[in-house]
Chain A
Amino acid sequence: MEAYLIVSTVMFFAGVYGFLSRRNMLTILMSLELMLNAADINFVVFNRYLYPGQLDGTFFALFAIGISAAETALAIAIIINIYRNLKNIYIDEVSKMKY
């Protein structure tokens, strides 16, 4: 169990680091997915080891995957639109809507 949790922790903080340091929006989105998947792993792991007779954690994981898929599709659509309009997907340079 510890091994799984270490993996998920590493994934999560890799996601946090990527989210904070990357400028490209797509990379940021990927980092976001990393964090979400880390959480999914945790769900499944805790379910498997702590409550073996139940399936709640698994359902939550599936549910989160479904939501993140929808969310990713939406985010990519937004990013594509931003790119079409501004020819730019660097997050610190996309400041047209500011103020």
Chain B
Amino acid sequence: MMTYTTLTIVALPALMFLFLGLLGGKFKPAVAGIIGTLGLTIVAALSYMTAFQYFFQVGKVDGVYQQLTALNVNWLTLTDKLHIDLGILLDPISVLMLVVVSTVSLMVHIYSMGYMKGERGFQRYYAILSLFTFSMLGLVVATNIFQMYIFWELVGVSSYLLIGFYYTKPSAVAASKKAFIVTRFADLFFLIGILLLSFYSGTFSFVELNDPNGSVLGQPITATFMGASVLSWAMILIFMGGAGKSAMMPFHIWLPDAMEGPTPVSALIHAATMVVAGVYLVARLFPLYAFGAPEVLTIISYVGAITALFAAVVACTQTDIKRVLAFSTISQIAYMITAMGVSGYGGHEGLGYMASMFHLTTHAFFKALLFLGAGAVIHAVHSNEMKDMGGLRKYLPITHITFLIACLSIAGIPPFSGFFSKDEILVAAFEHDKLIFAVLYLTAGLTAFYMFRLYYRIFWGENDKQYHHTPHEAPLNMTFPLMFLAALTVVFGFVPFGSFVTADRLPYEGHIQWPIASMSILVGVVGILIATVMYRKSNDKPDRVAATVKGLYKASFNKFWFDEGWLFVTKQILFKRVSAPIAWFDRHIIDGFMNLLASVTSSVSHRIKGIQSGELQDYAWAFYMGTMVIVVLVILL
């Protein structure tokens, strides 16, 4: 029963993509949009049904959530043991992701009907959205790591296509290329990691790999390379792939540029779903990390913590509202990654894992809400820059309220959902590593500060600002997703998340730890207050603060020169020192040898061309002389 439902969930968007991609041009844009949205509505409904069945009816056996393989098709057989399958695996995290992805995707589909109205290539837009949804759903239900890798690349492609949607704009083309190349570069490590892992363990299957008592772990642990076990190396390489997709330092450079795409796309792909694929990857292989390579988890937690702080600092100085949100996304995903890193396997130890998935879910809802709200603002004022905004709260009342809810949620103010998930991450970090806790705590304060800076700059400030034409509230198909997501943001925190999703799939009763919770509320409130003082009304305080910490401000404004650093590495070192000599070798030695062969052949044939004169009598003469010679030879010998 669940086989067909889940198969439909994955296959329907794929059919939608083919249908809209091949025949979309035949319809009116609005019809194509409605078809895509209806398809997604079915997918979302089926996802909710699957989730209900899984969590409340069939999933739980003896108090443990089972890993159900709803479908498994042998696709490629490499050896008897090693084969690549395509299938559907249902366990708490994949079912959770089904719900998250289909919900956000549905909201974005609805929203796009208003936002993208009248754009060229409207049908193409919906076709690629369907492709993305298909790939992301295929990724989350993957039964084995290779299937995950296939869909992983597919989401990369659809992300590329959507960032470059405005393909007549050079900056969008550059951004899509950058996103694709950077993530693809990281995926190279992912692939090496997969090959290493499967070579030593002899399996791709998640169920076999993740079996804590499994025998597959034996060989990868005992085999060592450069002082660490092969398993650790494989897990580090796999995490690098995840870091690429999830924009961890130093692979984060593509995400801010990806904001060149249409805003609903940023909400769907670059905030809620695709960028959390890295977190999902770590969660998927968590038992391997926890039992096989705990030292890699430590690395992961530090990478996450540094990225979280770095991105939060950068977000404080950006002026493009979508870029602020992009850096905020990097920072929040780093939060989830850190939570994974500080987690243990089961029970109270596994709090970090649970908190990470919880934050993933709540973040998906409120960050999608923030992006869609930002889209409504951009729709109203036709600009991404903060300086073109201000005082919008009376023009865009619904956007204003929903945006405020999302800001409060991300700042960690109760009773909004962000408070619950963030609090649990902080508790997990506090119990594991005080240094990481301090970094995350500081980041939480910065988060509240930059979000409210954004909020005040958009909706408050200069009340009498003159607009060319009065900004107006977005149509209902844009405000409905905002309200829906806002409602989710408000209520989702009260879901007893621990009783559904934990590392060992045993229900876990979490309680709010008030000492740490009150500290996190405090730092959130302080951040908001500072932002209020500085940005509530337009004044010169921000400039004065910027002047006092000039170096830091400049570094932050220029994103700590990471882009320049990568450009230096690629252009100066890779292109000049490596590629250029290789190109010279290719052009002069290899091509030269071939050219030499060709020119020798050509000159020789030029010389002997004269023999073939076309004169009949010359040929006859040669023939006779030849016959004579043969006759003479025959007679003599």
Contact = CB atoms under 8 A, between A and B. Distances in A.
A20 B614 contact: no
Interface stretch (B212-220, B243-251, B292-300, B616-624): B616-624
Contacts of A20: 617, 620-621, 624
B612 to A, nearest CB: 10
B614 A95 contact: yes
Contacts of A91: 615-617
B615 to A, nearest CB: 6
Contacts of B614: 95, 98-99
A92 B615 contact: yes
A20 B620 CA distance: 7
Contacts of A98: 614
A19 B620 contact: yes
Interface residues of B, number: 7
Interface residues of A, number: 9
Contacts of B620: 19-20
Interface in A29-64: none
A16 B617 CA distance: 11
A73 to B, nearest CB: 20
A75 to B, nearest CB: 13
Contacts of A19: 617, 620
Most buried by B among A20, A21, A95, A98: A20
Interface in B487-523: none
A71 B473 CA distance: 98
Nearest to A99: B614
Contacts of A95: 614
Nearest to A95: B614
B621 to A, nearest CB: 6
Interface string A13-27: 000100111000000
A95 to B, nearest CB: 6
A88 to B, nearest CB: 15
Contacts of A21: 617
A24 to B, nearest CB: 12
A16 B624 contact: yes
A92 B615 CA distance: 6
A54 B615 CA distance: 43
Contacts of B624: 16, 20
A92 B617 CA distance: 8
A16 B625 CA distance: 11
Interface string B136-154: 0000000000000000000
Interface string B17-43: 000000000000000000000000000
Contacts of A16: 624
Nearest to A98: B614
Contacts of A92: 615, 617
Contacts of A99: 614
B569 to A, nearest CB: 58
Nearest to B624: A16
B231 to A, nearest CB: 71
Nearest to A16: B624
Interface in A53-99: 91-92, 95, 98-99
A20 B616 CA distance: 9
Interface in B589-637: 614-617, 620-621, 624
A44 B285 CA distance: 99
A90 B624 CA distance: 21
A20 B621 CA distance: 6
A99 B613 CA distance: 10
Contacts of B616: 91
A64 to B, nearest CB: 19
Contacts of B615: 91-92
A14 to B, nearest CB: 14
Nearest to A92: B615
A27 to B, nearest CB: 12
Nearest to B621: A20
A61 B614 CA distance: 33
A91 B621 CA distance: 14
Given A19-B617, A91-B616, A99-B614, 6 more contacts: A19-B620, A20-B617, A20-B620, A21-B617, A91-B615, A95-B614
10 contacts: A16-B624, A19-B617, A20-B617, A20-B620, A20-B621, A21-B617, A91-B617, A92-B615, A98-B614, A99-B614
Interface of A: 16, 19-21, 91-92, 95, 98-99
Interface of B: 614-617, 620-621, 624
Closest 8 CB pairs of A and B: A98-B614, A20-B621, A20-B617, A91-B616, A20-B620, A92-B615, A19-B620, A95-B614
